[in-house]
Every structure is written in C-alpha cells, then in structure tokens.
Amino acid sequence: MFVGEKIMNNDSHTFEITAENQPTLLERLLQVTRYRGFLVIEFNVLPCSDNRRLDIKLTVQDPDKANLSGDNGVQRLYNQLNKLFDVNHINIKQTSTLQCQA
C-alpha cells in the first residue's frame, strides 16, 4: 500500500435476470436502475438458445447506501425490475469487493 492510498469495501449486488428478448428491454432495465440511484458496474447479456429470451447479469453498487437502512434500496430495485412486463425471473447475489484508490 502506498502513502495516501485508500482501500474501500464496496458492497455490490448482482441481479441475474431472465427476460423476453424485446427491443426496449435493456433500455428499461438500465432506466429503472438509474432512477433508483444505482451505479452499473457490470452488464452482460447473452441470448438463450431459442433467441426468444435473454440471460442478463446486472451488477450494481448503491452510492447512497449510508442513507438507507439495510438493503431496502436493493429490495426496491428488485421490486421495480420484477414489475417490468418482459422480465421472467430475477435472482440477487451480494458480493463484496475491495477497491483501491490513490
């Protein structure tokens, strides 16, 4: 570790989403995420074998976690994403990462 270097522990949440392959789906997922104040740190999309559905991995970080009690923000984001018409299924995984900042 160098002088003046900070190490921060950042909790992130990964949403594993299965959804119908529709033209506006990805835009709506990102829009809901942005409206809820989350930062997207990873976004992967792969079509399923039938090309009718998508497997999406959306990893987000809550920049205002200190203002929320527990995971209320994550639960609200989950609820909003789950309300989208084309979303079939969502799993949430929490991960902790260490970020080094000089």
Q: What is the pLDDT of residues 13-39, one digit of tens each?
A: 999 999 999 999 999 999 999 999 999
User: Over 60: is that where the pLDDT of 7 sits?
Assistant: no
Structural domain contains residue 47: yes
Structural domain contains residue 91: yes
- DSSP-based three-state secondary structure for 52: coil
15 touches 92 (CB < 8 A): yes
DSSP string, 67-92: GSSTTHHHHHHHHHHHHSTTEEEEEE
State both tokens at 86.
């084309």
More confident residue, 64 or 28: 28
Tokens 């799993």 belong to residue: 91
Q: How many domains does the chain have?
A: 1
Residue-wise pLDDT for 38-61, tens only, equals 999 999 999 999 899 999 999 999
Owning domain of residue 52? 6-101
**82-96 per-residue burial string, b: 16 or more CB within 10 A, e: under 16:** eebeebeebeeeeee
What is the domain-level CATH number for residue 86? 3.30.70.260
State both tokens at 63.
């920049």
Structural domain contains residue 84: yes
